[in-house]
Amino acid sequence: MRLCGISNCDTVRKARAWLAGNGIEIPFHDFRKSGVTREMLEEWTGKLGWEALVNRKGTTWRQLDEAGKAGVNSRESAIELMLEKPSVIKRPVLEVEGRILLGFDEREYSETFKK
């Protein structure tokens, strides 16, 4: 089990607060401090699809020029962008029991952890 994201992200904070409030201790992997690996991204895109992982609503995406945005049109190009700019990854990413949960949904976390 592992929770991945960026520590100052509001959604990551909500997920961490929910986990702590429910007495669930999970290691946290900060993309900015510890980076993200190709292996992580290949696993996540394999389970979720690359489109789900690229956060097109965030600041990092909006700051890309039109050519940069247009160039993200396949799994490989999305992985390259996420390796270069980890803050473009939708977060948090929760790895639990062989599953990958993307974003924070209290109901989904409650069902996953039977809380």
**Is residue 9 among the annotated active site residues?**
yes
Contact 6, 34 (CB under 8 A): no
Beta carbons within 8 Å of 66's beta carbon, 6+ residues apart = none
Give the distance from CA 19 to its chain's centroid. Answer: 16
Pick the catalytic residue from 9, 53, 54, 102: 9
Q: How far apart are CA 87 and CA 55, in angstroms?
A: 9
- CA dist., res. 18 & res. 60, Å (int): 26
Distance CA 20, CA 91 (A): 18
Give catalytic residue positions: 9
